[in-house]
Amino acid sequence: MQLLSIILSLTLTATVPAPLREPAPLREPGSWSVTGPGGAVTARLGLDDAGRLSFGVDRQGAVVLAPAPIGLTTTAADLSAGLSFLGRGNRTVRERYTRTTGKQLERDVTLTESTFRFDRDGTRLDVVVRVSGEGAAYRYVLPASATITGEASSYSLPVDAPAWLLPYTPNYEESRVPTTAGPAAAGDYGFPSLFRVRSNYALLTESDVDGRYDGGRLTHAPGSGAYTVSLADPLITSAGPLSTPWRVAVVGDLATVTGSMLVDDLAPASRLSDTSWVRPGMVAWSWLSEHSSPADPDRQKQYIDFAARNGWPFVLIDEGWSDAWVPEVVRYARARGVDVLLWLRWTDLDTEQERATRLPQLRSWGVAGVKVDFMDSDSQERFRWYDEILAATAAQHLMVNFHGATIPRGIQRTWPHVMTMEAVRGAEQFTTRAATNTIFPYTRNVPGGMDYTPVTWAVTDRDTTDAHEVALALVYESGWTHLADKPETYESHPLALRTLSRLPTTWDESRLLSGAPGQETVIARRHGDRWYVGGISALPAHTVPAGLGMLGDGRYLAETLTDGDHGLERTSRIVRRGDTLSVPVAGNGGFVTVLCAYTGSASCDEPVRQVPATTLALSGGPESVKAVFTLPAGGPLRSVRLEPRAPRGWSTTGAPVTAATLRGGESITGTWTFTPGPDVPPGPVDLPIAATFTFAGDPGYPDSPGAQRVHVEQVVHTLVPPPDPTGTPDVSALPFLTESNGYGPVERDRSNGEADGGDGNPLTMRGTVYDTGLGMHAPGEVTVWLGGACDGFSARVGIDDEVTSPGSVDFQVLGDGVPLAASGVVRSADPPAALTADVTGVRILTLRATDGGDGKNFDHADWALARLSCAA
């Protein structure tokens, strides 16, 4: 269906105006209008007697954006003045598409488009204008390669227009400022920016930004209503014809602005023909409430168990996870119907080699998606990286959440596996204010998913009530909603947990019912045949009237969660279309109402997805692996399939084992062999066998597109050994079988340095520089293959001189898991210590650096001159 929608969109938008005979350039001024379907919005393009262009927008006959200069400059020409009009072409554009996330999944919209052709001394500039019932946009088109030096693009607002502006930073995480267009402070402001012009609102932003351009922002000089577009780079290069991003003005009342999808309407169509692997949903996330927990696999399993109990499909493991244990935790999660998402720095994926290595590895573990962090740039170079990472993650069927990122500019239409983006001052700032929260639905959340990480009692510096916190999960739109507190905290608020576990994260339609920026937001959203009404307030206690004109025929049960005298409380009543739901809201409070068809039931609660417990036992080795998959009790399971999953370069023999039904107490058994190919690299490898199934009671059961097959996997651990070392090799010259490090990668012949590989300094301790060795950060560890061919190990160990404060490390040597030698705690003030070990007969050597018992800060551990004595 998705592919058909894309084909229809391409067909319907391919209407081309009749060819124009280019007239001689017209030097006199001109004025043109483009009116959108329905006649509410009109864009006005002007050319004055100096050949300068202007652009403005009216709504229902009233000026919203007064005509303001537009144009651009290149290294070859100034295309902001001296222009002559050549001609105009018109067409109607119809956009029909399906989203995987968002406030409206199915979209069908018609826009009016006009292309205006201009010339300056033989250099061509086209201005394309599109208008819909929600606003107007324009872009520049250059027919040949060019280097852009800037834009004259600007907007003109009344000086007394109220405004809600974001002081610009490239991660969009500053606090929004309620101000006025003219007196607003001088400086740069990030998109989207909201202005009220009498009875209308204008939201200014941009769409269709990728690596062919960079991200813009608004620059304001105080005292006027003029806001100009500034670019991130001094120069933007284009190797061929260039269509710039759309300069977008969403105009209308607040309901129009809040519900607008104009940014998506202007974006390129989806680049994915298959989105069946893309899944939104609630996410359990531990970093905000307990920073150290992502480094603790046992604690992550507790989050997984909590998510499974409550039907949340995902757990995000943030900064601190390790290659050493993530694969096993992923297997643990998937057997319980929970998928794992992993945090990464963007610098972990900023080269083609890193993407080609790391992303397939994550997918082979069964990871469902990634949170990529700290991009912190709107440059053309960074947008080219976005192009690359989006294509690479899509190829691996890895969904994406961008943090430390730019704002959505249509990216979720073009790349439907982008579930959400941060670009907001969210709960992780540990300061929550109701007045700020009520601005986001009218600003940041309009162009796309917003990863605010809501609903946390861990943030104690807040003026919001408990019901306000819960309502954020409904009022804010995000394909993945990362709920940010501990399992124990949610379980101590059972009414909140009951509501959260039944909220969708995607919507068939959304409507603003009432509110104003900085005061209140009341939104109704539909998912299937249910409606959900949520409100957040920054006002004193009052009663919110929520009109229910959107309901269908018949009676509905309305269950409402609000703040009560003794904590959260839940009430219910029977309502019909056209009724008004009157909800008492506490000061800075909120509410959530679930509306379901009334069938006589006392509750709208639906069963929470509970995956049956199963076991998968493996025995044997690569030459013969026996697998027994059992359903101890319950069920039945359907469409059961048991099979090996050969790693890349490996082959297996034996057919899958299947069962149409598996009932409690029943098992299926299979036996397979694994064989490595000639190009399999040396090192440890996991040989997986997996059972997949559906089960009675699961949504979409048994095999419809909505059914999510459960994946139960276990592995046989084996090793493809490298050649035995000979002579007296440096450990840094040998291949690592495994590697982990407290910060960044383990460095060869350099100190640990910072987070990136190769960024260390020469190994230096107490002023002495060493040519070879390993640079670690505690806790760190590497293993290397000896194969029983060596008899001695030696090194000089200590804290590298690069640290700015004292560190402490205990250096340990292990052979086949057995301790052989240890330095004891070595501190920065200590001289390098000699460390030797007898490794006779050892197959696998482990070099480990622990934190000395006082934390890992400044524990840059050097293994200088780490060498082996091996057989010739």
Model pLDDT, residue 699: 63
pLDDT the model gives residue 415 = 98
Report residue 22's pLDDT band, with 50, 70 and 90 as the boundaries: very low
Identify which of 481, 588, 468 has the alpha carbon closest to the alpha carbon of residue 540: 588
Q: Quick one: pLDDT at residue 2?
A: 39
Model confidence band, residue 755 (pLDDT cutoffs 50, 70, 90): confident
Residues designated catalytic:
373, 428
**What residue ranges of the chain are covered by domains with CATH 2.60.40?**
615-720
Q: Say if residues 481 and 453 touch (Cβ distance below 8 Å).
A: no
What digits encode the pLDDT tens for the residues 187-196? 999 999 999 9
Rounded CA-CA distance 688/625 in Å is 10
pLDDT band at 11 (very low <50, low <70, confident <90, very high): very low
The whole-angstrom separation of Cα 759 and Cα 763 is 12
For residues 651-676, average pLDDT? 96
> Per-residue confidence at 120, pLDDT binned at 50, 70, 90?
very high
What is the per-residue pLDDT for 653? Answer: 93
Backbone φ and ψ of 586, nearest 5°: -70, 165
Contacts of 731 (CB under 8 A, 6+ apart): 773, 774, 782, 784, 793, 795, 845, 847, 863, 866, 867, 868
Residues making up the chain, counted from first to last = 872
Least confident span in 8-22, 302-316, 631-645: 8-22
Residue 522 in tokens: 């009341």
pLDDT for 14 equals 37
**Alpha-carbon span 129 to 247, nearest angstrom:** 10
CA distance 861 to 864: 9
Tokens of 395: 């190829």
- The rounded distance, in Å, linking the Cα atoms of 176 and 165 is 5
Residue 696: the pLDDT is 83
What's the CATH number for 2-265? 2.70.98.10
Mean pLDDT of 461-481: 97
Q: Where in the chain is the domain with CATH 3.20.20.70?
A: 281-506
The CB-side HSE value for 654 (13 A sphere, CA atoms) comes to 23
CA 33 to chain centre: 39
Predicted pLDDT of residue 12: 37
Strand partners, 77: none
Average pLDDT over residues 102-117: 98
- CB of 73 closer than 8 Å to CB of 147: no
Compute the chain's Rg from CA coordinates. Answer: 30
| For residue 443, pLDDT beyond 70 | yes
pLDDT of residue 854: 87
For residue 785, the Cα-to-chain-centroid distance in whole angstroms is 39
How does residue 698 score in pLDDT terms, banded at 50, 70 and 90?
A: confident
Question: Quick check: 705 pLDDT over 80?
Answer: no
Helix ranges, 100-222 (H): none
Q: What is the mean pLDDT of residues 91-100?
A: 98
User: Is 50 exceeded by the pLDDT of residue 67?
Assistant: yes
| Cα 341 to Cα 357: distance, rounded to the nearest angstrom | 18
Q: Which runs of consecutive H residues, i.e. helices, occur in 492-586?
A: 494-500
Angle at which helix 297-310 crosses helix 326-334, to 10 degrees, equals 20
| pLDDT beyond 90 at 167 | yes
Residue 706 has pLDDT above 90, yes or no: no
Q: Would you place residue 299 in the very low, low, confident or very high pLDDT band (cuts 50, 70, 90)?
A: very high
Q: What percent of the chain has pLDDT over 70?
A: 96
**Amino acid identity, position 540:** P
Q: Which fold has domain 731-870?
A: Jelly Rolls (2.60.120)
For residue 557, give every residue at least 6 positions away whose Cβ sits within 8 Å of its Cβ, in sequence order, or none.
572, 573, 574, 575, 595, 596, 597, 598, 601, 603, 604
Residue 700: the pLDDT is 52
Q: Is the pLDDT of residue 724 over 60?
A: yes
In this prediction, residue 21 carries a pLDDT of 43
Which residues lie closer than 8 Å to 361 by C-beta, 6 or more apart?
none
The amino acid occupying position 103 is K
Closest alpha carbon to 341 in 401, 292, 297 = 401
Flag the least confident range among 227-236, 379-388, 849-858.
Answer: 849-858
Cis peptide before 192 (omega within 30 of 0): yes
pLDDT in tens, 791-833: 999 999 999 999 999 999 999 999 999 999 999 999 999 999 9
- Assess contact for 213 and 245: CB atoms under 8 A: yes
Residue 20 has pLDDT above 80, yes or no: no
Q: Which residues contact 77 (CB under 8 A, 6 or more apart)?
A: 120, 121, 123
Q: Which CATH class is domain 615-720?
A: mainly beta
Mean pLDDT, the chain, as a whole number?
Answer: 94
- Decide if pLDDT at 5 tops 50: no
Give the Cα separation of 710 and 640 in Å (integer): 10
In the chain, CATH 2.60.120.1060 sits at 731-870
Q: What is the mean pLDDT of residues 303-320?
A: 97
CATH of domain 281-506: 3.20.20.70
Within 13 A of 88's CA, how many CA atoms are on the CB side?
14
- Please spell the DSSP secondary structure of 672-687, one letter per residue: EEEEE-TTPPSEEEEE
